[in-house]
């Protein structure tokens, strides 16, 4: 677990504790979710227990502090859910390695699995309406990320 802790320390050392002061540090857009959203994503990824969190894409164990909580839609969207847990995924690694790297580089595989979403208007850019491809109970299925931090088997109702 020690190498995991080091990654965490390096990535999050300049802590911005006051959400009211709206300034995005350069190159750190993946880490500016509120703590409660990060915790909700880790809890979902740990099937109810953030200490059991796994990478939501490849399922490697991350625990309470490993990996990083990334935005799926990072820019170009006007949806109020940008900072909600529907737009948050816990991925292993960082911008230089692991699943986070694949999402940061907007690789085809990342987009096909819903881990990265292009910014824009319309439901195909709305993180509430774009499912992620997850492994659950041994099968690979699409699940929608609900705004209350669950994997939903169906898209949310309404427009």
Look at residues 75, 77, 87, 73 and name the one whose alpha carbon lies nearest to residue 147. Answer: 87
Alpha-carbon torsion (33, 62, 12, 72), positive or negative: negative
Under the binding rule (CB under 5 A), the answer on residue 62 touching Zn ion is no
Under the binding rule (CB under 5 A), the answer on residue 53 touching Zn ion is no
Considering only residues 83 to 102 of the shown chain, the ones binding Zn ion according to CB under 5 A are 92, 99
For Zn ion, the closer CB: 58 or 141: 58
CA 120 to CA 49: how far, in whole Å? 33
Under the binding rule (CB under 5 A), the answer on residue 55 touching Zn ion is yes
For the chain, give percent helix, strand, coil, nearest 5: 30, 20, 55
Q: Which of 1, 24, 58, 153 binds Zn ion (CB under 5 A)?
A: 58
Q: State in angstroms the smallest separation of the CB of 122 from Zn ion.
A: 28
Interface contacts to Zn ion, rule CB under 5 A: 55, 57-58, 92, 99
């Amino acid at each position: 677990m020690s190498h995991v802790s080091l990654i965490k320390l390096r990535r999050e050392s300049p802590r911005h504790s006051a959400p009211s002061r709206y300034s995005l540090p350069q190159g750190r857009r993946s880490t500016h979710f509120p703590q409660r959203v990060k915790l909700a994503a880790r809890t979902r990824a740990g099937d109810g227990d953030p200490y059991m969190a796994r990478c939501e894409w490849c399922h490697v164990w991350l625990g309470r502090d490993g990996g990083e909580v990334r935005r799926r839609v990072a820019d170009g969207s006007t949806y109020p859910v940008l900072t909600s847990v529907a737009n948050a995924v816990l991925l292993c690694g960082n911008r230089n390695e692991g699943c986070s790297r694949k999402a940061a580089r907007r690789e085809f595989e990342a987009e096909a699995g819903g881990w990265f979403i292009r910014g824009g208007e319309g439901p195909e850019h709305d993180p509430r309406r774009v499912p992620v491809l997850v492994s659950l109970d041994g099968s690979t299925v699409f699940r929608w990320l609900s705004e209350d931090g669950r994997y939903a088997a169906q898209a949310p109702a309404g427009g």
